[in-house]
Amino acid sequence: MAPARDRRTGFSRRRQYGAFLGYVLMVAGTLVGAVLLVVSTFDPPLFAAMRMAAASITAPVSSVLDAGVRGVASVPEAIGTWFRVHGENAELRAQLKRQQALLTRARIIAYDNWRLRGLLQLRDRGAEPVVTARLVSSTASSGRRFAILNAGRFQGVLPGMPVIGPTGIVGRVLETGPIAARVLLVTDPESLIPVRRTRDGLPAIAAGRGDGSVDIRSVNATNVRFAIGDMFVTSGTGGLYPPGVPVARVSANGIESATAIPFAAPDSLDFALVEKPFMPVPARPPAAATARP
């Protein structure tokens, strides 16, 4: 019997083409990674522009996928909530009765505060909202903590603007693209937020740890004791974040520093509000006109 011309019996052309395509993609990916590494090393501004351009392209796709995942994930939660609604209703009614006295006291304090501010002729400076956008992705495995916002320069978002969620401070805008922005989260090691303790006004600094939590550090006082449950809000110092916005709650006792959990978890947020800085940087004075001879 004559030998077969093709000795690779049983090996289809589809598998050959698939293997060849895999090698091509591997080589192309290696080359692209090398080019990006060189660009990030020798030209960081160009690399940042390329990164934000890629984020602007992927942000709409991430928004659609995120909306679909949230919609599917909300079905079991809605079913479980329907079964628990009766018991929760009775519990909430009892809680409302218990907190009625606290609510009345809070209203009295708010009225006294308003009256005293009027007497002192003080005026609160309110931050101006820019846009409400969705956090479509966030880092979870690296030492840095960033998130992508599906709004950019076209929507008026600029670097340095604070990002606030329904439950507290999320972070601040670090970089912006046409329709996407990169947000530095409060848990990032480069994040520092001036805060104060709600029960006594103690000033402190909330510094990110890079692991999903923050460090609360005393500023001026020594031997300061932090207890579990201490709540910290923004103080307004520095002019970036408006005062009184929740930041974190202490999760472990400590002296001069303690670990705290942020109120706003980026992974659980649907939307976030981008605001102008609480105290905008004043504009530069116009240059003096050159005297004509």
pLDDT tens digit sequence for 104-133:
778 778 777 766 665 564 444 455 688 888
Q: Can you tell me the distance from the alpha carbon of 155 to that of 218, in angstroms, rounded to the nearest whole number?
A: 38
Domain presence at residue 250: yes
pLDDT, one tens digit per residue, over 61-79 is 777 777 777 777 777 777 7
**What is the domain extent for residue 150?**
125-278
Q: Is 266 within a domain?
A: yes
- Residue of higher predicted confidence among 291 and 169: 169
Residue 113, in any domain of the structure: no
Is a pLDDT exceeding 50 seen at residue 152? yes
* Single pTM value for the model: 0.61
Residue 20 covered by a domain: no
DSSP string, 192-243: EEEEEETTT--EEEEEE-SSS-EEEEESS-SS-EE-TT-EEEE--TTSSSPT
Q: Are 227 and 250 in contact (CB under 8 A)?
A: yes
144: Cα separation from own chain's centroid: 12
Contact 151/271 with Cβ under 8 angstroms?
A: no
Residue with tokens 């018991």: 87
224 pLDDT more than 80:
yes
> Which residue reads 């600029």 in tokens?
158
**CA angle at residue 219 from 214 to 223, to 5 degrees?**
95
Q: Is 65 helix (H, G, I), strand (E, B) or coil?
A: helix
CATH number for the domain spanning 234: value is 2.40.10.340
How many domains, in total, are found in the chain? 1
pLDDT at 290: 45
The Cα–Cα gap between 221 and 85 comes to 47
pLDDT at 47 over 50: yes
What pLDDT, on a 0 to 100 scale, did the predictor assign at position 216?
A: 93
Task: Give the per-residue pLDDT at 215.
Answer: 94
Pick from 48-52, 101-105, 138-142, 202-206: least confident: 138-142
